[in-house]
Structure formats: C-alpha cells, structure tokens
Amino acid sequence: MAEPDPPPTTGEPADFIREIVSDDVRAGRHQTVVTRFPPEPNGYLHVGHAKSICLNFGIAREFGGRCHLRFDDTNPLKEEQEYIDSIKEDVRWLGFEWGEHLYNASDYFDQLYQWAELLVGQGLAYVDDQSADQIRETRGTLTEGGRDSPYRNRSVEENLDLFRRMRGGEFPDGARVLRAKIDMASPNINLRDPVMYRILHARHPMTGDKWCVYPGYDYAHGQSDAIEGITHSLCTLEFEDHRPLYDWFIEHLPVPSRPRQYEFARLNLTYTVLSKRFLLRLVSEGRVRGWDDPRMPTISGLRRRGFPPEALRQFAEAIGVAKRESVVEYAALEHAVRDVLNRTAARKMAVLRPLRVVLTNYPEGRTEEFPALNNPEAPSAGTRPVPFSRTLYLERDDFMEDPPRKFYRLAPGREVRLRYAYLITCQEVVKDAAGRIVELRCTYDPATRGGSAPDGRSPRATLHWVSAPHAVRAEVRLYEHLFRQADPGAGGDLLADLNPRSEEVLAECQVEPGAGRLAPGERVQFERLGYFCVDPDRTATLRDAWAKVQAREG
C-alpha cells in the first residue's frame, strides 16, 4: 500500500541539492521543477536506488514539480523486460507515481541519431575505424594526453557516409564507432573524443531489431534530459567527471532545454553490498534464492522481508544527502523499520522453540480466553481473544534450571507472569532419559486472572505463551546480515564474507490461532521476539511461512 504523500516540507532546504533547487525556483529560473529517476533495466533496484528515488521524487513533490521514470536502455546486451517490470513495481511500492511520465532513452533513438549526424556535419564527430584495443592504447593515461586517431580528420562527407552505413548494418560489431571530436589532450579523460555510438547487432527490449548502432550513456543521457525538460539531473559522484561532457553535448546541440547535472554520494551500508553486478552474481550462482530473497538489499528483498515502504522513506530522510562518501550503519535502517512497525504492526504471541508446560492445578479440559491488546501503541487497534488452557508452550529461552544473576525469567520455584493470563510458579522440571528438559510442571494462581495479583506482587518477568491445544504450527525463518563483516569484501573476497548463518529455519514453532489468519505480506510483532512478515511467495499454506524482520534481542 502506498502511503499518502507526506506533507510538503517547509522552512530551510534539507540538503545542498534542495538548496540549489530552491534557489533556482526563487530566482525564477524554472517555472516547474522536473527531475527524473533513470535506472538501467539490467537488474533489480536496491536500497541505494531507494535513496535516489526518494530524492528525485521527493524533490518533485516538495516543489510542486514532477519526476519522470526513464529507463536508461542504451545497452541491449544487458537489459531485460523482467527488470523493467520489477523497477516499476518497486518505485510504486515505495509510494511514488510517475503518472504519464514513463519514458525510455530508446524513445529518443531517432532524435539522438539525427543530432549525431548534425554533429558529424559540423565536424564535431567522426567515425573511427580503430579497434577497441587501439582506442584504448591511444587514449593516453591519467598523466599523459592521448594521440589523435588516424581517422580523426576524415571529411564530413566520408564520416556521414560511414555513419549511415554503420546504421545500415554494413559493418560487424566493433568494426567502427562514432566519436565526438573534442580534445585528445584533455586532462579529463572523458573529453578525449568519447565514443558516442557503437555497433551492436542485438535485439533491444523496446525497439527490437530496428537498430544496430546504440548510443552510449554520455551521449544519450543528457540529451534525454533535455528532451524531457529535466531541470535538475541528479546522479552519483562518479559522474562528476562526466559533467563537462554532459555540458558539451548540450551546448553543441539544438536541444530544447538546458538541464543541469548535480552529483551526490551514493549510499553505502554496513554488512551490505550494493552493487548490481554482485547482486546479479549472488542470484545467478544460487547463493540466495532470487532477487527478492529476504536477505537481499534489493527493494523486493526488503519488501519480502517485511520492511514497510514508509520505513525506507524515513530512512532516506534520516541519512540525508551530501557529497562526502560515507557508510551508513545498518542499525539506522533497522531503527526506521522498528519505528514504523512499532506503531503499525499488530501484536501476536508465538513460541519459536516450544517447551511444554502443564499447569497441574488448572482444571483438565477447561479453556478460557483473555483479551490481548492488538497494539499497545495504538489503543484504537482494539483487542483480540487469546485462548488459554492447562497445557501451554513457553519459549525454551525463557526457562533456566540454574539461572545466572540477571536472568529474570522462569526457573525452578520462581514465579513469573504469563502475559494477559496468570502468574505461574515452576514446581518441577521433567527430563527425558538423555537429561533434556521436555516439560515443566507449574501451578497457577487463580487469583491473578488477567495477570495482576490482588496483593500487589509483581514478578520481574512477563512471558509470552501459546495454548498448546489451540496453537497453530508454523515455520518461522530468522535472518541475520547476508555478510558477517561490516565491510564485506575488505579482504578482497566478497563471497568469503557471506554469512553462513544468514538464514535459520525453525519448523516447529507454535503461534496463537489468530496468527494463522494473516494475509501474505502482513507484518506483525511477535511479542518479545521481534517483527515478522507473512511470506507471500511460499507454499500454499500461508500460515506456515514467516520471515523475521527484526530480532528484538540477541
């Protein structure tokens, strides 16, 4: 569910980009602010993209402008329809809408081609017959300029002829490229006659077999921005060096508008890798179950994990936007998730590692129900009846035969409160032949119905529980970081840092009956355990599939 739009921000701009936009608006440089989110459909979106989406759509919303969703589909070798579909779904899920402003760089291939011919006609672009290797060798190094291609000074006529024949499919892949004629001696490598078009006899998801020459990012991106009337083209830091080139094309072409590029630092998260290339590898090698595996930092993975879209937006706002490279602690993301879930997730009781408890003085066959708060943070959420009986399940972790100093929970001879029910006292520990605890025999105090004692005594601990005969068996999956290192790959090998215990499956859990009626995707808090989400993609029996969102405590 998309949340309603947050109220427009007022007051001072929250970051340097909003400050720029704000100044532009105040100075009257634009009548409408237009931004764009330009993903390449070569993989699924991840939290890093969420930051960019929140920035671009957020600014558009705050300034009463609009944000386009534009697929940067200039490389048919890597792009697929599946990715296009997932990207749209993820952006919508995050709570943003592009309306009719859905575009593709490929929508502009005709225009881009015409402008390329225009540049050729002005002597500002030429066809180079050198191989990729030769171009690399003559590009120079970081400290020395490059050398002109022997084809650099062909006549306009010859260039035009060659370029048209490239388009016509006369040459094989890699035979020739179209290059912008700028400056082979530039200290900025991006200006050393960058490649504008390459020959690629490949079928494109949108244009099919219409083209066999495709524009590169540098040539396509800025012009696409100009065509769409983008006012502020926001991208990450690594494109800072490309800005002079971005501007060069804009200045030398009869484009309909004058967009400006601004760069900000991409998101880095501890215990996480945000590289589409690597995430693709995890998926293709089967190290995870798919792009939407709950352990993946993809938006679809986080969604399946149970992270609410509001939490991602809140997170994006909390971390800010700046130019300095930084690594945000995963705890900041978790905080946002807990903050949202604490006030929205319904509470349920579930026992992950059941320990049978028999209340020896509770009548056999008797059942009663206690009203339990659905959400203490939101009284309006009401209550639900939870069945109680003589035989219960308690969490094994909540009992210790020989409790250490600060352990407040159940122990032999000790009294604790069962949430919403009674105070009980452990009288006897039953073990099997192997010495393993199999059952606890306790007594309850009938006078403490509801959980409070008339004499005012109050146990240190309140435990969650489930009535054995009423419980629903469930599989619960607990998740940890995908990587065991805060900075995965620091040692040179990302795969070596994968956390072998990133997923733990508990098949014998017992949950209160109401938990069996939850809808797929619904998020709940199992009291004292953490937040969980009904896994929508699991087996037919929805109730036996849960994914852990947050562990409350180690």
Partner RNA sequence: UGGGGCGUGGCCAAGCGGUAAGGCGCGGGGCUUUGGACCCCGUAUACGAAGGUUCGAAUCCUUCCGCCCCAGCCA
Per DSSP, the residues of 381-407 read G-EEEEEEESEEEEEGGGB-SS--TT-
**From CA 471, how far away is CA 283, in angstroms rounded?**
36
CB of 290 to RNA, least distance (A): 23
Residues 394-413 that bind RNA (CB under 7 A): 406-409
Site string for RNA, 4-33 (x = CB under 7 A): --------xx-xx--x--------------
List 371, 450, 469, 491, residue binding RNA (CB under 7 A): 450
Task: Give backbone dihedrals phi and psi of 300, rounded to 5 degrees, phi first.
Answer: -70, -30
Residues 255-314 that bind RNA (CB under 7 A): 265
CB of 376 to RNA, least distance (A): 4
Residues 186-205 that bind RNA (CB under 7 A): 187-190, 194-195, 198-200
Of 50-58, 115-123, 132-140, 507-515, the window that binds RNA (rule: CB under 7 A) is 132-140
Residues 31-50 that bind RNA (CB under 7 A): 38, 40
SS3 content of the chain, % helix, strand, coil (to 5): 30, 25, 45
Of the residues 78, 266, 449, 538, only one is catalytic, namely 266
- Around 286, how many Cα atoms within 13 Å sit in the side-chain half-sphere? 0
Q: Is 107 an interacting residue with respect to RNA (CB under 7 A)?
A: no
Of 3-11, 49-57, 330-338, 514-522, the window that binds RNA (rule: CB under 7 A) is 330-338
Q: Exposure of 27 by Cβ count < 10 A (0-12 exposed, 13-18 middle, 19+ buried)? A: exposed
Q: Is 323 an interacting residue with respect to RNA (CB under 7 A)?
A: yes
Q: Which is nearer to RNA, 41 or 65 (CB)?
A: 41
Q: Which is nearer to RNA, 245 or 518 (CB)?
A: 245
Per DSSP, the residues of 54-66 read HHHHHHHHHTT-E
Whose tokens are 């599939």? That residue is 545
CB of 268 to RNA, least distance (A): 7
Q: Is 135 an interacting residue with respect to RNA (CB under 7 A)?
A: yes
Instruction: Kindly report the three-state secondary structure assignment for every residue of 535-553.
Output: CCCCCCCHHHCEEEEEECC
Q: Which is nearer to RNA, 134 or 361 (CB)?
A: 134
319 and 328 Cβ atoms separated by less than 8 Å: yes
157 is a catalytic site residue = no
Q: Is 527 an interacting residue with respect to RNA (CB under 7 A)?
A: yes
Residues 170-189 that bind RNA (CB under 7 A): 173-177, 187-189
310 is a catalytic site residue = no
546-551 vs 472-479, strand pairing mode: parallel
Q: Is 377 an interacting residue with respect to RNA (CB under 7 A)?
A: yes
List 152, 335, 356, 384, residue binding RNA (CB under 7 A): 335
**From CA 203, how far away is CA 192, in angstroms rounded?**
30
323 is a catalytic site residue = no
Task: List strands edge to edge, sheet with 213-215.
Answer: 125-128, 177-180, 195-199, 213-215
Task: List strands edge to edge, sheet with 546-551.
Answer: 346-348, 523-526, 530-534, 546-551, 472-479, 503-511, 350-351
Q: Is 382 an interacting residue with respect to RNA (CB under 7 A)?
A: no
- Look up residue 38 and give its two tokens: 């330009």
Site string for RNA, 202-231 (x = CB under 7 A): ------------x-xxx--x----------
Q: Which is nearer to RNA, 244 or 256 (CB)?
A: 244
Q: Which is nearer to RNA, 178 or 542 (CB)?
A: 178
The gap from C-alpha 115 to its chain's centroid, in whole angstroms, comes to 37
List 153, 367, 458, 539, residue binding RNA (CB under 7 A): 458
Q: Is 419 an interacting residue with respect to RNA (CB under 7 A)?
A: yes
Of 114-122, 237-245, 433-441, 493-501, the window that binds RNA (rule: CB under 7 A) is 237-245
| Integer angstrom CA distances of residue 130 from 21, 136, 177, 180 | 43, 10, 8, 14
So which residues are the catalytic ones?
Answer: 40, 266, 276
